[in-house]
Every structure is written in structure tokens, then in C-alpha cells.
Amino acid sequence: MTDSVRVLQVSAEIYPLLKTGGLADVAGALPAALAGAGCEVRVLLPGFPAILAGLQNAAPVGRFTLPWGEAAQVLGGTLPAVPGADGAASLAYVVEAPSLYERPGNPYEDAQRRPYADNHRRFAALGWAAAHLARGLDPNWSPQLVHGHDWHAGLVAACIKLTAGRRVPCVYTVHNLAYQGIFGADQFADLGLPPAAFQMDGLEFHGQISFMKAGLFYADKITTVSPTYAREIQTPEQGFGLDGLLRSRRNDLSGILNGVDTTVWSPATDPLIPRHYGVEQMTGKARCKAALQAEAGLEARKDAPLFTVVSRLTEQKGLNLVLAGVDDLVHGGGQLLVLGSGDHALEAAFAHAAQRHPGAVALRVGYDEHYAHRIFAGSDITLVPSRFEPCGLTQMYGLLYGSLPLVRAVGGLADTVVDADLATLDDGTATGIVFASFSEADYRHAVRRALALHRQPRAWSRVRQNGMQQDFSWTQAARHYRAVYSAALPDLPKQPT
């Protein structure tokens, strides 16, 4: 076996072609990073219109029949829009099945935000495509290992291990245990798996099917997206009913912190922001802030600390805390800008807050990647007060762009932000504001601390510089993934660390 390992990465999204959250950023950045760690990676994606539109040099690789009798085709080609895709990392497979994937809007939900009734089939098809590629569907390339991401790829290992044919090792990465791909037991027959798979030691989860559980049970190795989250999901509080299974597999579970693609996220080179800046020359950030205030309809106050939220508007993200603290924030001299969509009640509550505080609170419903870049560049504080947070990327973007994260000490937030207290201000390690308890009182106190720190320009500048100098490159994460691959492939030579 050569030093290089052939890896098939399976995910539902990839930046910049299709993104609903951080999964896409990881799927887009990891292949190129793994190439630098001695891996030859090809990606497998469902044939959503946005992905097919980005696939160039497409050619049929092979066809297969899905368990319910529908035919699907795998196309091979390149994804030149994917960052770092100037080599083998751009090679891709796409499952072409128009009846499953060719739908407008959100890839998972209809216009009324209801999950598609056939989502179990849509993502079972992804698992079966991976199994067929593992067994030689492409006569010119086959993986030594398959790496699936999140519940959409949860059936990959089951399809490979429970049916006849070549069985390659599988690695499964949990990006968010709260989203498990739960379906009714009556849909099991569509999956094409043996009846014995529908039991406690398999896919069965409280009388239903869990794609997430399938990935956790059948994969050879499991990873998740931060060391702290790897520990948290083994507890009843954050295990979402799967903590027992995860504890039983703790020797196969690793927490690998996500990275940031600095070819996309860097205030020194970002083409999407009004002015470039860096640690040694921060003038451009003030210009970015003024431009952002004007764009958002906020008062042009350079002295007002600008707090921002870039997030799905869900209960998980702690946004009820943000709403509870709006008045304190504004009365303390701050401003708030929110970009996101999701829960209708949260959208309405933030809209009401903007009406109550014109010029101090602003909301844009939806997601706009370009606007998000301008927000990080122009803001002073990035709010991520999550109830739970597997890794979080927004706090890392905030750090790199000189927007101090205000976060709860949970998951990847705890792994990436150092609280500014007397000791860390003294030793130069402080990078943001961290609070512990998921309570309105603790959150409001954290906001007061951020406001107070902003009134101390020298201390604020030191903390901001510390954050901007953090190294969140994918290089270290790629080495950790390569080590997991080596553990799943015992005959694979170990890479030097």
C-alpha cells in the first residue's frame, strides 16, 4: 500500500455551491487540506441543481438501481469553484436522480419549511451511491476508505457493511447530534437493508429509524467537530438519546476541531469587504464598520460597540438570551445587527426589537454569504451564546476579523475562545468574553463585561490582536483526520506528525 490513501468524502452540501450551515464550509475545505496530509480525496454529493450547475467536465461513471426500483446515475467531473480545487481535491461524483433532488429552494424542506416526505429515500440514495463506488462502480478509481458527514450520510457504513460486496472501512463525522435524520419505521423497507438492521443494535431508535444512529453504530471510527463536544455528547444532557451508544464507542470517538479556510476568510485579502486590514494596520476595520452601519440602517456612531449575530435563528443558538438582553445592550450604548432565518417567532421578536430601537437594532432575515463577510469585518462583538455548539465557525471568523466573540463555554466555543479576565489580560491569552451558565443573568453580565472592555481601548486592542493572531488553519485538523484514517486502515503507513 502506498503512503497516499484514497478517500471518498460524502456530504449533502459543499461551499460555495450549496450551503445551509457550517457543514458546507467543512466539506469544501477538508479535501484540499487532506491532500496536503497525504490523501487523495474525491467527494460524493447529491445532484441538487446548485451542485450540478457547478460540476464541470461531467461524464457518466455508472448506473445503479435504488432499493425501491428507481434508477440513478453517478456523474464524475470537477468542481472548480471549490476553494483549493486546483488539483485532485476538485474531483467529484454527483448522484443524478432528478426526481429526488431537482426541487427549488432549500435542499431539505419545501416552501412551507416542512421536511420532504421522501428525505429517507433522497439520502439513502447517497448511501447506496457510496457503497457502489466502494465496490468499483468507477473502474478507474475506488476508495480505500469512505468518510461520511452528518445524518445525510448516516447510511453509508450500513450500506457497505450489511450487503454483499467489497467492504471498505468507514469514518463518520457528527456535525450536530441534534439533527438525526429520524423517519418512521414504515419507511425502513425503502432503505434496502436486511431486516435484522432494524433493531436496537442497528438503526432502530425508539421505534423509529435514525440515520445518525446508523452512522454511529456501523462506522469503524467516529469523529466530531471539537474535543469538548466529543465529551459532551457522551452525557445525557447533550447525547440526545445516543449517549449510551457513544459511551460504548468512546475508544473509536475523536474530537477534531474544525478549521477555517483562510483563502476565503481573511480581512487582509477578502474581496467581499470594503477595506482590507490586519493586526498591524487596523484603519480599514473602522471603514468597514462605518459602511456596515450605513448598510444596516444603524446610526453612524464609531464609538458604539456593534454586536452582531450571524446564525440560524433557532433555540439552540441561545437567541432568546440575546432578545432578553437587547434593552441592556442598547442602554449601555451598544448596537445590534442580526442576520439569519429560521424560527418564525424568533424572526418576529427580532423584528419587533428593531422597531423598538430604530438606529440601534437591525435585522436582515435570510442568509447572504457576502453580507456575512461584511458583518464580521465591520462588527466589534460576535454573539454566539449557544445552548450547545458542536464546533461553531462564526466565533472563529469573528476572531480572525477582529470581532471579539462573546460565547458560552460549551462545545467548540470553549475550545476556541479564552475569556478576558484579569489573569488572561495580564498574560496576553484573552481573546473574547466567555460565560458559563445558560441563563439570562449570566448572559447579561457578559454583555456588560463586553461593554466595559470596549471602554478600555488599550485592553480592547490587545484582546482583539490576540484573537486575530489565532491559527485556525485546516493543516492540523487534516493531520488528525489522517491519523483516524490510519487507525481504521491498520496496514496504512503512519504519517509523521
Which residues are annotated binding-site positions for ADP-alpha-D-glucose? 19
The rounded distance, in Å, linking the Cα atoms of 111 and 333 is: 39
The rounded distance, in Å, linking the Cα atoms of 242 and 410 is: 19
Which residues make up each annotated binding site? 19
**Residue 74 bridge partners (DSSP):** 62, 95
- Please check whether residue 42 is in contact with residue 112, taking contact to mean a CB–CB distance below 8 angstroms: no
Alpha-carbon 475 to chain mean position? 17
* Burial (Cβ within 10 Å: 0-12, 13-18, ≥19) of residue 469: exposed
Tell me the three cell numbers of residue 222.
Answer: 467516529
The rounded distance, in Å, linking the Cα atoms of 271 and 317 is: 29
Tell me the pairing of strands 221-224 and 170-174: parallel
- Please check whether residue 123 is in contact with residue 162, taking contact to mean a CB–CB distance below 8 angstroms: no
First to last CA, the chain: 20
- Please check whether residue 257 is in contact with residue 227, taking contact to mean a CB–CB distance below 8 angstroms: yes
Rounded to the nearest 5°, which phi and psi values hold at 234? -90, 10
The rounded distance, in Å, linking the Cα atoms of 12 and 72 is: 16
**Residue 335 bridge partners (DSSP):** 306
Cis peptide before 16 (omega within 30 of 0): yes
Q: Under 8 Å CB-to-CB from 14, ≥6 apart: which residues?
A: 24, 27, 28, 43, 45, 51, 79, 82
Give me the residue label for grid cell 419507511. 187
Tell me the three cell numbers of residue 163.
Answer: 450487503
Tell me the three cell numbers of residue 271.
Answer: 474581496
The rounded distance, in Å, linking the Cα atoms of 63 and 229 is: 39
CA angle 48/52/55 to nearest 5° reads 145
* Burial (Cβ within 10 Å: 0-12, 13-18, ≥19) of residue 105: exposed
Positive or negative CA dihedral for 24, 246, 477, 1?
negative
